[in-house]
Structure 1
Amino acid sequence: MNKIERVDAVLNGRRPDRPPVSFWYHFAPECAAGKAAVEAHADHMKKYDLDFLKIMDDNRYPRIGLRDGVISDAGDLERLPVLNGDEDRFGLQIELIEELTRRFRGEFRMITTVFNSWTVLRQMVAPESEKHAPPVIGETGDPRDNALSRLLRQAPEALGRALNVITESLAGFVRNCLAAGADGIFFSVRDDWMETLEGGRGMYDRLVRPSDLKILAAAREGAFNLLHICGRAVDFERFAAYPVHAVNWADRYAGPSIASVADWLSPALCAGLNNLGTLATGSPEDCRREAADAVRQAGERPIILAPGCTFDPATVPPENLHAIRSFVG
C-alpha cells in the first residue's frame, strides 16, 4: 500500500498493511509562513517518513477591527467583522497549503489545522504570543478564562454574536483550504476550559457545539477530517458523535483508553503515543512497547498511531520518534 491507501484503509474500517503513523510539533516562529514553512513541513516528513502530514497553522486568526488587537469589552466583540477566509494571515495559510499541494499531491494526505471558535476567541482576549506548548491538564485560573467569564456576565449577546462571526469566518477559511488542496482539516476542540465558566458543563453544548458543527459542515467534502480533542475531555461521547473520519485524543495522560472506546467509537482511532511522557522520558524500546500496546488495545480495529497533541522537540529525542516509525515497518 502507498501512504494514501494506508490511511484511507483505516478511515474506512479496513486493516492496512501496517498501522499508519504521524506526529507533529510547532516549528520555529520564522517557519509559520512562506518558503520557510514549506521547507519545515517537507523536512519533517522526509526525516521521519510519516504517513500523513498535519499542516501546522501558527498564523493565527486575523485580528481585524480590534483596538490594540485584543478583545477587552462588548464594543470589541461587536466590532469583529465576518471575514471571507482569505484575508491577512488566512491568506498565508492558504498559500502554504497551495505550495505543499503543488509539491506533494498524490504522495500522502495533508490536513490543515483549524482551531474552533472558542479557542480563537480565547486567544483574542489576550495579546498575541508566539509561544506554543502541549496542553496543561486541569489548569485553572488562566486570565483568558477569567476574561471570558467576565464577558459572559456583562455582554452575553455580544459574545454570542462574536462567536457566530468567528464561526462564519472559519467556515469560509475551511472552504478555501480545501479549494487550495488540503485533504481535510485537523479540527482542534477543547471543553474542559468551559468548566470554570458560569453555566458549567452545559455551556459548551449551548455556545460552542453548534459552531463546531457548522465548521465541520464546511469541511464535509474533505477526504480526511480529523477531530483533535485537546486536553482532558469533560464529555468525550459528545465529541465522538461529531461527523468526522477519525478522532485523535490523549489516551495516555487524559483518557479514555483506546481499549475502553474501541468497541463503540465510530470514527477511526488516532491515538496511542504519550507526547508528555514516553516520547520525552522513555527509551526507544519504551516507545516501541507503547506503540505495540496501542495496537493491542485497538484489537480488531485498525488504528493510526499518533500522539495526543504536539511534542516538544526540545525534550523528545529524535531516536524515540524513529523507533516508533521503525516499529510499524
Structure 2
Amino acid sequence: MPMTHRQRIESTLAFKETDRLPYSMWMHFPNRDRHPRRLAELSLAYQKKYDLDFIKFMPFGMYSTIDYGMDLNVFPGFVDAPVAQKPVIEKVSDWDNIRYVSGTAGEYAIVLEAQRILFEMMDEKLPFLQTVFSPMTTAVKLSSPQLLVKHIAEDPQRVRKALEIITATTIEFVKATVALGTDGLFFATQMSTKNLIDDKTHDAFVKKYDLEVLNGVKNSTWFNVLHLHGANAMIREVQDYPVQALSWHDRDDGPSMEEVRGYSDKVFVGGLSWGEKWLSKNNEEVVAEVREVAGRSGGKGVILGPGCVIDPSTPEERLELVYRTVLETVR
C-alpha cells in the first residue's frame, strides 16, 4: 500500500526509504490570501490537485508587519504581491515606536483563523507548516537590510530593544499556531547571509532571537524547516538550530546539497529553482531537476521543493509536469 503523506515525511526525516520522492510546492495567492476562508480553500485545493506531501502555509509575506504600522501598496489581479508603501522605520529613533502587539490578535489572528478553517476542512491530517518570519526578518520588512545594518552600528541597544518586542510577539504567535495543531514551522530568515551581515552581528541580532523562538516550540513540533533566503547563506552557522530540515536556494545560488551534506545531518528541502529563474527553464530542465533529487542519497533525507517560492504566474502545466515526474519515482 502507498504511504500516507505523514508517513512519507516521517520516514524522510528519519533518513528511511519512502515509496516515492516526497515533495511539496508553494506559492502566494495575492489579493486572495488575507481572507481566512479563501486562503484555507486555496491551500487545500492546491494540495489535493498535486498530491503534495505537506502544506507549507502561505499567509501573505507582510503579515508580521501590519500591526506595527505598515501600510501597503496593493496591485490589481492575482499575481503581484503587496509591498510596503514606505518603511515604518526610516531613522534610528523610529525603533522607539515599536510597541508590543499581540501574536493572537490583529493580522496574526487572521492567519490563525485561516489555519483553523483549513484544519476543519481536511479529511486527512496532512503535515502542516506555518510560515513564521524570524524577528530580524520582520525588522527588515519594517525597514530595509541596509537601514537595519546601519542602525545596528549606530545604536545597537535601540535596535535590540525593538527586536526583543518583536520576538515576544513572534513567540506568542508560534505557541498559538502550535496549539491549533501545527506540525512545525517554516521559519524564514532573510538576514542569515554573508552578503548582508557579519558573523558577530548575526550571532547577536539574528541567531539569539531565532533560538528563542525555535526553542519555545522544539518539544511540541516534529517537522521544523529553517529557510535561509539569499545568496551566500550562512548554512554552516545554523547547524545547531533545533530544526529537522534546511531550505535554501540550492539550485540557483548554492551551495549544492552535496556540499552541505559534507557538514550537515539535517534533511534538505529543495532541488527546484524558484521564481522567475524557474519560469525561464524549459520542461526538460524541470524534469531533470526532479530526477536528480530523486536519485540523490538513494532518495533518503531529501524532500523536493522550490528554493523559495513559486511565481504565482507559473502555468499549471509546469506544476503538473513536476507532479507527473514525481509519480515516476514510485518504487
Q: In 2 relative to 1, CA 115–202 (structure 1 residues): closer, same or farther, beyond 3 Å?
A: same
Partners of 2:264 and 2:238 lie apart in 1 by 10
1:190 Cα deviation (Å)? 2.8
Q: Does 1:70 align with 2:88?
A: yes
1:83 to 101, 109, 117: 101
SS at match of 2:274: coil
Partners of 1:36 and 1:89 lie apart in 2 by 15
1:135-183 residue CA offsets vs partner (Å, 9 max, x unmatched) = xxxxxxxxx2332234224332110111111111101110001111211
Aligned residues: percent identity?
Answer: 27
SS at match of 1:29: coil
Amino acid at match of 2:63: R
Residues 252 and 274, structure 1, Cα contact 8 Å, conserved in 2: yes
1:49-74 residue CA offsets vs partner (Å, 9 max, x unmatched) = 21110111215125446598812345
SS at match of 2:100: coil
The correspondence of residues 112-123 of structure 1 with structure 2, limited to 5 A, is: 112-123=130-141
2:319 to 321, 324, 329: 321
Partners of 2:177 and 2:157 lie apart in 1 by 30
Per mean C-alpha deviation after superposition, the further-off stretch among 305-314 and 278-287 is 278-287
1:265 Cα deviation (Å)? 1.7
- Residue 37 of structure 1 aligns with which residue? 39
User: With structure 2 as the length reference, what TM-score do the two structures score?
Assistant: 0.85
1:85 Cα deviation (Å)? 1.2
The correspondence of residues 1-329 of structure 1 with structure 2, limited to 5 A, is: 1-58=3-60, 60-64=63-67, 70-104=88-122, 106-125=124-143, 144-191=144-191, 195-196=195-196, 200-220=198-218, 221-276=220-275, 279-299=278-298, 301-314=300-313, 316-329=314-327
Amino acid at match of 1:162: A
Q: In 2 relative to 1, CA 91–7 (structure 1 residues): closer, same or farther, beyond 3 Å?
A: same
Q: In 2 relative to 1, CA 283–62 (structure 1 residues): closer, same or farther, beyond 3 Å?
A: closer
Residues 57 and 114, structure 1, Cα contact 8 Å, conserved in 2: no
Structure 2: 5+ residue runs without aligned partners? 72-86
Amino acid at match of 2:204: R
1:269 Cα deviation (Å)? 1.5
Residues 183 and 224, structure 1, Cα contact 8 Å, conserved in 2: yes
SS at match of 1:28: coil
Partners of 2:227 and 2:66 lie apart in 1 by 24
Amino acid at match of 1:98: R
User: With structure 1 as the length reference, what TM-score do the two structures score?
Assistant: 0.86
Partners of 1:283 and 1:67 lie apart in 2 by 39
Partners of 2:161 and 2:277 lie apart in 1 by 43
1:205 Cα deviation (Å)? 1.2
1:225-284 residue CA offsets vs partner (Å, 9 max, x unmatched) = 111111124421112331101111111111111122235421211111112477313333
Q: In 2 relative to 1, CA 156–12 (structure 1 residues): closer, same or farther, beyond 3 Å?
A: same
Residues 16 and 302, structure 1, Cα contact 8 Å, conserved in 2: no
Q: In 2 relative to 1, CA 83–65 (structure 1 residues): closer, same or farther, beyond 3 Å?
A: closer
Residues 67 and 76, structure 1, Cα contact 8 Å, conserved in 2: no
1:284-317 residue CA offsets vs partner (Å, 9 max, x unmatched) = 3322221111223334633110010001132x33
Partners of 2:227 and 2:7 lie apart in 1 by 22
Partners of 2:277 and 2:285 lie apart in 1 by 7
Q: In 2 relative to 1, CA 2–185 (structure 1 residues): closer, same or farther, beyond 3 Å?
A: same
SS at match of 1:101: helix
Residues 270 and 305, structure 1, Cα contact 8 Å, conserved in 2: yes
Per mean C-alpha deviation after superposition, the further-off stretch among 71-80 and 226-235 is 71-80
Per mean C-alpha deviation after superposition, the further-off stretch among 273-282 and 109-118 is 273-282
Residues 103 and 169, structure 2, Cα contact 8 Å, conserved in 1: yes
Q: In 2 relative to 1, CA 192–226 (structure 1 residues): closer, same or farther, beyond 3 Å?
A: closer
1:168-211 residue CA offsets vs partner (Å, 9 max, x unmatched) = 110111000111121111000133566446xx342111211010
Partners of 1:190 and 1:233 lie apart in 2 by 11
SS at match of 1:227: strand
SS at match of 1:188: strand
Amino acid at match of 1:256: P
Structure 1: 5+ residue runs without aligned partners? 126-143
